[in-house]
């Protein structure tokens, strides 16, 4: 079980990155993995925050794929970096955490949006040849989340993060199904922590709708907690189920359409219906937040969604409701129509 040693969430805390690093580890050679725009915006502030005797290196990444992971690994070895900082969205953080894991180097997560729960999880989402992979990697030894920076990201990313959190409802239900029908290990504490993260969003959906910036901290803390739940469980089970498989299948069938959390939110509606849960209540919560609840809102056709539902259980052997019900093309279409996501 690997969990962050320290978590700092607050406004204008990026300028404290140097102090934060000193608190969690003794690093003298730090590699920042980020994108060009973020380096341009915050590079000087980061450089000023680090101690004078700290050597700083930068690596710019564009895609979360194995090519970029290997490139960062090479940089780590060349510069003898003893700390990796992943700063950005999912792409930068996933590449940083996997390269850190492969090179056995400590890793700190500095998210700049609240679009996903990979902020603190020990799993990296990497794509290769158009296919998504969820790979065991490093849990961050620390998470520094600057609410001022995260609040400035497009509202769509924030809503995507809410969708990813609500998805824990069906992820945990799938985990319970695998426990009951396949004898799979089930961790009640990790599951409860993940469900708590979802509950915070569902209960506050009305407040999030009218004052999203006031709730950014709550959403960020919920995303971090969800990642910690995965670390406790030793798997992504409490955070990722059939709704995530649906999202990953859409990545293959309709690449570039919709954010991860947006597709997970829509997938949650579908899977909740299959689990005989209150899918209408979950759909209502997503609607209040302003997250997509219809395929056309993210540019996905009914045919693409049907194909994704059929492909999803083939992407991973992990037992979920999709493996149990074994949808046909007709039943997949019926599910889409009945849930009103078309």
Place of tokens 């969800």: 226
Domain residue ranges of the chain, discontinuous segments joined by +: 6-151, 155-339
Please calculate the CA angle 151-152-153 and round it to the nearest 5 degrees.
95
> pLDDT digit string (tens) for 274-331?
999 999 999 999 999 999 999 999 999 999 999 999 999 999 889 999 999 999 999 9
Pick from 251, 261, 262: nearest CA to 298: 262
Low-confidence ranges of the chain (pLDDT < 70): 129-130
What pLDDT was estimated at residue 279? 98
DSSP-based three-state secondary structure for 316: coil
Q: Are strands 131-136 and 123-128 parallel, antiparallel or unpaired?
A: antiparallel
Report the Cα–Cα distance between both ends of the chain, in Å, rounded: 41
What pLDDT was estimated at residue 327? 98
Name the CATH architecture for the domain at 6-151.
Answer: 3-Layer(aba) Sandwich (3.40)
As given in the structure block, the two tokens for residue 286 are 């997503």
Pick from 322, 97, 106, 22: nearest CA to 331: 322
What pLDDT was estimated at residue 211? 72
Fold of 155-339: Dehydroquinate synthase-like, alpha domain (1.20.1090)
Query: Considering the entire predicted model, what is its pTM?
Result: 0.93
Q: Which residue spans within the chain are E strands per DSSP? A: 6-10, 29-34, 55-60, 83-88, 107-111, 123-128, 131-136, 142-146
What pLDDT was estimated at residue 31? 97
Q: State the SS3 of 67-134.
A: HHHHHHHHHHHHHCCCEEEEEECHHHHHHHHHHHHHCCCCEEEEECCCCCCCCCCCEEEEEECCEEEE
């Amino acid at each position: 079980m690997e969990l962050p040693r320290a978590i700092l969430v607050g406004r204008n805390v990026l300028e404290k990155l140097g102090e934060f690093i000193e608190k969690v580890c003794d690093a003298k050679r730090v590699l920042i993995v980020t994108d060009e725009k973020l380096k341009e915006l915050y590079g000087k502030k980061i450089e000023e925050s680090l101690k004078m005797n700290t050597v700083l290196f930068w690596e710019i990444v564009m895609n979360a794929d194995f090519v970029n992971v290997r490139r960062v690994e090479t940089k780590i070895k060349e510069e003898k970096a003893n700390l990796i900082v992943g700063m950005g969205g999912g792409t930068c953080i996933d590449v940083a955490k996997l390269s850190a894991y492969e090179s056995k180097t400590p890793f700190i997560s500095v998210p700049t949006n609240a679009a996903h729960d990979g902020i603190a999880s020990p799993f990296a989402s990497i794509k290769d040849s158009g296919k998504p992979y969820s790979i065991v990697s490093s849990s961050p030894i620390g998470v520094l989340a600057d609410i001022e920076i995260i609040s400035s990201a497009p509202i769509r990313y924030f809503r995507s993060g809410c969708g990813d959190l609500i998805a824990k409802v069906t992820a945990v239900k799938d985990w319970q199904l695998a426990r009951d029908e396949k004898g799979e290990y089930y961790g009640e504490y990790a599951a409860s922590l993940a469900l708590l993260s979802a509950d915070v969003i569902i209960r506050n959906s009305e407040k999030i709708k009218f004052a999203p910036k006031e709730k950014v901290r709550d959403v960020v803390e919920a995303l971090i907690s969800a990642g910690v739940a995965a670390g406790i469980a030793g798997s992504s089970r409490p955070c990722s189920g059939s709704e995530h498989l649906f999202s990953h299948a859409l990545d293959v069938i309709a690449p570039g359409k919709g954010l991860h959390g947006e597709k997970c939110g829509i997938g949650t509606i579908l899977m909740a219906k299959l689990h005989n849960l209150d899918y209408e209540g979950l759909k209502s919560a997503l609607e209040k937040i302003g997250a997509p609840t219809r395929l056309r809102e993210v540019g996905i056709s009914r045919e693409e969604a049907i194909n994704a539902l059929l492909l999803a259980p083939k992407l991973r052997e992990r037992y979920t409701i999709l493996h149990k019900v074994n949808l046909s093309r007709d039943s997949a279409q019926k599910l889409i129509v009945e849930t009103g996501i078309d």
